[in-house]
Amino acid sequence: MGGCFSDVSGGQEAVGGGGDVHNLQNMASDDAVDYFYRSKGLQPLYNRIELSLSASKLRDLDFMSKSDPMAVVYTKKKDGNLEEVGRTEVIMNSLNPIWIQKINVLFHFEIVQPLVFHVYDVDSKYHNLSTKMLDLKDQDYIGEANCVLSEIMTFRDRSMTLKLHGRNGHGVGNMGSITVHAEEAIASKMAVEMRLRCKNLDNKDRFSKSDPFLRISRIVEAGNPIPICKTEVVNDNLDPVWKPVCVTMQQYVSKDNPLVIECFDFNSNGNHTFIGKLHTSIQGLENLYKANVGENFVFPSTHHKDHEKVLKGKLFVEGYEEKELFSFLDYISSGFELNFMVAVDFTASNGDPRSPSSLHYINYSGRLNAYQQAIMEVGEVIQVYDYDKRFPAWGFGGRIYNGSVSHCFNLNGNAGSFEVEGVHGIMDAYRNALHTVSLHGPTLFGQVINQAAEIAAQSLSTNSNKYFVLLIITDGVLTDLQETKDALVRGSDLPLSILIVGVGDADFKQMEILDADTGPRLESSTGRIATRDIVQFVPMRDVQHGGRSMVQSLLEELPGQFLTYMRSRDIKPLAGH
Amino acid sequence: MNKINSRVLELTIISCESLTLAGKRPVKKNTYVVIKIDSNNDQLATAMNTDNGSYPSWSQKFIVDMPMHVTFFTLEVRCRNSSGDHVVGSARVPVSDFTRWYLPSSYLHFLSYRLRDRYGDRNGIINFSLKMKLPDDVAGVGASAGYSSPAILGLKYGGANMGQGSSHGMVIGVPFGY
């Protein structure tokens, strides 16, 4: 999940209101990271700031059409290196894009926080990919600009327009500009879900009917309206019904805050034809729903500034529901628990444990090998959420004491119990297992995943406020890709997530397939399909070299996966806490 | 009523994704889903979906009586247009997929299956949820609905219920990573 904003199917996808999976994802992982720091007694001292970006007069880099721009925001660290903060969606065929996807940054009062904005033209062959997956080296660079976060905050309208320039400050002529608007994010769990439809829209297409979509923007005191979401495009229809949109209070601020809803006819060249607009608020939309009446769109007159032509096209609100979106933290602090399980790769590809080049080499001078590092770093993060700190621990792909190869054996060598005590318990069991188990193969995940699923399923009959996380540490290539998929598809129906940490330098392409962030949902050999993404893959080398902390990498998707499970079943945080 | 030799399921047909007709044209409208438990029995069907083209949603709930000997049931997505009533695709759902684990009987399963057309080619996905009903509830429902001893009970709730339609459709219907 997450990072869902490339303009799929030629820019016809909904952004910002599609159940706000992405926003919650960001918020949820922020929450989880906060919780981790607070559990260590560290108080985060910052405000959450939301940046809205737009640009004008960008350079045109496409031959036959206009550029398809996307903006990437970085913070410049003390050593001069850039750290990516976030990406907007891709807007098709536009030199004056207004991006909807907001970028969240943390505003530390006491630190100078230089921001750098890069604008890229995303090649159309990448339009079906998640923007998070795009390799920026493959994209055409349009220009960049920089400023300091506190600078924006000092302006009355909290907006700043920056001229774009080339790399290292070089640039020829006018390269366009980027406007950054900053707002403090509101901590609120309220959200409104609505189903919108229109009737009798004007026809703007010559040979067929209009392909309408709606864009909802919030009007701010100073400056241009800020778009908060757009619906998907309904093709060839003057009475369209859109999928439900869910807007959070972060997006609409208050029920009385004025909104403008614009209706456009989608054109693939990016030059969408304006059909009409109307001014309202969330309150106004609720009233429309209650009275079960439509409101007419208007078209501003070209001659008189204050005149508006009332159109016959009307907007209706089919469904309206206010709901409280509980956060990951609400569940955890009310007594929900994450239960951790660990599985370690004992296949021969790790190299002979006696050789210093092996990933399993134990250095008694104290330097940790790759597996020990993964266990320690991940363990430190995740044990915070596990109350009893007793972890089931297994190994796979090794030849055990009785001479047989096992794809799920108890790491502690105890046939009766797979649980070990605390992170140090995992470390001890792992070191001992290296003496008694010889490395073998092949690499099969199926059995450990099934074992974990079994435990998750069993817990449901006694306790429904547990969620399970299986950590698999592995050096590489899977032999049973289909069997693993089958196990994952079955697991998607259970309170279970799987975190795969890759050690060593192997090619981890397969793991990316299992981590179904983009692309098709996992499909089992019998045609059953995963109902949600339960896998997150983290390559250890990226964590070591990339400057991203282990906490952030690990907690990026887990809270979202947890929330998807709880919300789909309408499970609420426990009362009375 | 034959309570011992059958299970009773609460089956909610939620939605379908990327349905096409022959020639890979997206389905435009008028899709519905037929639930087939046992070829001898009456079939249950959802209402016709007229709006959402190749991504129809229903969120329509059925109470289904399923004999113990049944090992799978079939969901058939059909589409009606000017040239007739066509099968878009069907999926076989093995009963073992929701009885495999020792789960509490009232556990709400969310399940998705690949649909295949009559040539066996992949054609979209169907999403539904499923829950075993406790015998007590069933007796109540059967009595109040006034059925004598039907093999299958069909209960239809207003499919357009906002809260339900969206909360289910939202979570399940959005493919990951969009």
Q: Which candidate, A316, A221, A248, places its Cα nearest to that of A27?
A: A248
- Closest approach of A166 to chain B, Cα-based (Å): 32
Query: Residue A194's beta-bridge partner residues?
Result: A245, A320
Averaged pLDDT score across all residues of chain A: 84
- E strands, A381-495, are 390-396, 398-399, 405-406, 409-410, 419-421, 438-439, 466-474
**Number of domains making up chain A:** 3
Tokens standing for residue A299: 């078209």
Which of A324, A356, A380 terminates a domain? The answer is A324
Is B57 or A198 the better-scoring residue by pLDDT?
A198
Is the same domain home to A231 and A366? no
Nearest chain A Cα to B121, which residue? A527
CATH top class, domain B3-132: mainly beta
Predicted confidence (pLDDT) per residue in A411-450, tens digit: 999 988 999 999 999 999 999 999 999 999 899 999 999 9
Say yes or no: A99 and A28 in one domain.
no
A101 and A178, same domain (yes or no): yes
CB-CB under 8 Å, B169 with A1: no
Q: Give B40→chain A minimum CA distance, Å.
A: 25
Please give the model's pTM, rounded to 2 decimal places: 0.69
Q: In the predicted model, is pLDDT for residue A84 greater than 80?
A: yes
Same domain (yes/no): A13, A39: yes
Distance CA(A413)–CA(A423), nearest Å, equals 17
pLDDT digits (tens, 9 = 90+) for A509-555: 888 888 876 667 899 999 999 999 899 888 887 666 555 566 667 77
* CATH code: domain of residue A132: 2.60.40.150
Closest by CA to A383, choosing from A448, A339, A317, A429, is A339
Asked if B31 contacts B78 with a C-beta cutoff of 8 angstroms, the reply is yes
Q: Could you tell me the residue ranges of all domains in chain B?
A: 3-132, 150-178
A541 and A418 housed in the same domain: yes
Cα separation of the two ends of chain A: 30
A68 shares its domain with A111:
yes
Predicted pLDDT at A11: 62
Distance from CA of A208 to the nearest CA of B (A): 15
Please say which residue of A324, A357, A386 terminates a domain.
Answer: A324
Q: Is A270 in the same domain as A213?
A: yes
pLDDT at A380: 80
Could you tell me the CATH number of the domain that includes residue A491? 3.40.50.410
Interchain proximity A567–B51, CB inside 8 Å: no
Under an 8 A CB cutoff, do A528 and B97 touch? yes
Shared-domain flag, residues A464 and A563: yes
CA A393/CA A426 separation, integer angstroms:
7
Last residue of a domain, one of A170, A187, A204: A187
Give contacts of B169 with chain A, Cβ < 8 Å.
Answer: 243-244
ipTM for the assembly: 0.74
Q: How far apart are CA A118 and CA A72, in angstroms?
A: 5
Residue B141's pLDDT is 41
Closest CB to A517 among B103, B166, B177: B177
Q: Which of A90, A527, A24, A574 is nearest to A246 (CA)?
A: A24
**Among the partner residues A246, A490, A516, nearest to B177 by beta-carbon distance:** A516
Chain B interface test: which of A528, A535, A562, A566 (most B C-beta within 10 Å):
A528
Q: Are residues A559 and A415 in the same domain?
A: yes
Contacts (Cβ under 8 Å, ≥6 apart) of A105: A48, A49, A51, A73, A75, A85, A86, A113, A115, A149
Co-location of A109 and A250 in the same domain = no
Q: Flag if A529 and B178 touch (Cβ within 8 Å).
A: no
CB contact under 8 A, A321 and B114: no
- Name the token pair of A320: 């309206």
Q: What is the per-residue pLDDT for A223?
A: 72
Note whether residue A575 is domain-resident.
no
Over range B75-96, report the average pLDDT: 92
Q: What is residue A4's predicted lDDT score, i.e. its pLDDT?
A: 33
The Cα–Cα gap between A331 and A339 comes to: 14
- Closest residue to A461, CB basis, from B104, B168, B175: B104
pLDDT tens-digit series, residues A280-321 = 999 999 999 999 999 999 998 877 777 888 999 999 998 898
Q: Which residues of B touch A (CB under 8 A)?
A: 51-53, 91-92, 94, 97, 100-104, 107-114, 116, 125, 127, 160, 162-163, 165-178
The predicted model gives B59-71 an average pLDDT of: 89
Closest CA to A571 of A495, A458, A496, A488: A495
What is the rounded distance in angstroms from the CA atom of residue A119 to the CA atom of residue A88?
Answer: 10
pLDDT for B143 beyond 70 = no
Taking CA–CA distances from B171, the nearest residue in chain A reads A568
Give yes or no for residue A507 having a pLDDT over 70.
Answer: yes
Question: pLDDT tens, B13-23?
Answer: 999 988 888 76
- Residue A122, pLDDT > 50, answer yes
A374 within a domain of the structure (yes/no): yes
Same domain for A162 and A263: no
Based on the domain organization, do A337 and A441 belong to the same domain?
yes
For chain B, report the end-to-end CA distance as a whole number of angstroms: 46
Mean pLDDT of A30-56: 71
Question: Domain limits at A389?
Answer: 328-568
Q: Do B104 and A528 touch (CB under 8 A)?
A: no
Q: What is the structure's pLDDT at A489?
A: 95
A574 lies in some domain: no
Chain A residues whose beta carbon lies within 8 Å of the beta carbon of residue B177: 1-4, 130, 516-519, 533
* Residue A70 CA neighbour count, 13 Å, CB half: 25
